Amino acid sequence: MTQPGKVLYIIVCAAGPAGDVARLVTLATDEGWTVQVIATPAALDFIDVPALEKQTGRPVRSQYRKPDEPKSPRADAIIVAPATYNTINKFAHGIADTYALGLLSEAPGLGIPIVLLPFVNSALASRAPFRKSVEQLRTEGVRVLLGPGEFEPHPPSAGADRIDVYPWQLAMQRVTAAWES
């Protein structure tokens, strides 16, 4: 059962594990969260939108609403998973060219806890712009679950081998801890 005032936005990006985001939705609803799925435009091809809408009872959002459409409930916490190289870099630099990035750009200023679970390969993760983006987000209080004891980048061209071990539960544990603190 969900609790009023306990709304979790799950922002899903276009990466291999995205097709399994329903696992994260289940973890969240089992912990009493009301879930709003937000998909980047590219992620729409990776997810089962009708199944997620049935599971959450809410429309999957990927663009700004029209003035006559109802607002989504305000987020109490946000998980970005899987978070891509592109989204991480844009978020860190304040680029808000999609609905998902617009929400993320505003969230730190609103004090909304954010947990970001990347899915990137080691070649991308080794790049200076990415490392700087991760550090910038961490200085703003974003919990980036990347590195030893969290989730390691996979070798290039080996992402498909890591989809089954993508740690959805780690993201859920960290967002719950952040929200409760």
Q: What does the alpha-carbon distance between residue 101 and residue 116 come to, in Å, rounded to a whole number?
A: 13
Fold exhibited by the domain 7-180: Rossmann fold (3.40.50)
Residue of 48, 36, 101 lying closest to 72 (CA atoms): 36
Per-residue model confidence as pLDDT tens digits over 94-148: 999 999 999 999 999 999 999 999 999 999 999 999 999 999 999 999 999 998 8
Q: What does the alpha-carbon distance between residue 4 and residue 103 come to, in Å, rounded to a whole number?
A: 21
Q: Is the dihedral of CA 44, 87, 55, 58 positive or negative?
A: negative
Residue of 117, 31, 136, 30 lying closest to 78 (CA atoms): 117
Q: What does the alpha-carbon distance between residue 41 and residue 136 come to, in Å, rounded to a whole number?
A: 25
Could you tell me the pTM of the whole model? Answer: 0.96
Q: Which phi and psi (to 5°) does residue 57 adopt?
A: 75, 15
DSSP 121: B
Position 4 pLDDT exceeds 70: no
Confidence of residue 180 (pLDDT cuts 50, 70, 90): confident
Position 2 pLDDT exceeds 80: no
pLDDT at site 70: 85
Per-residue model confidence as pLDDT tens digits over 30-75: 999 999 999 999 999 999 999 999 999 999 999 999 999 888 889 9
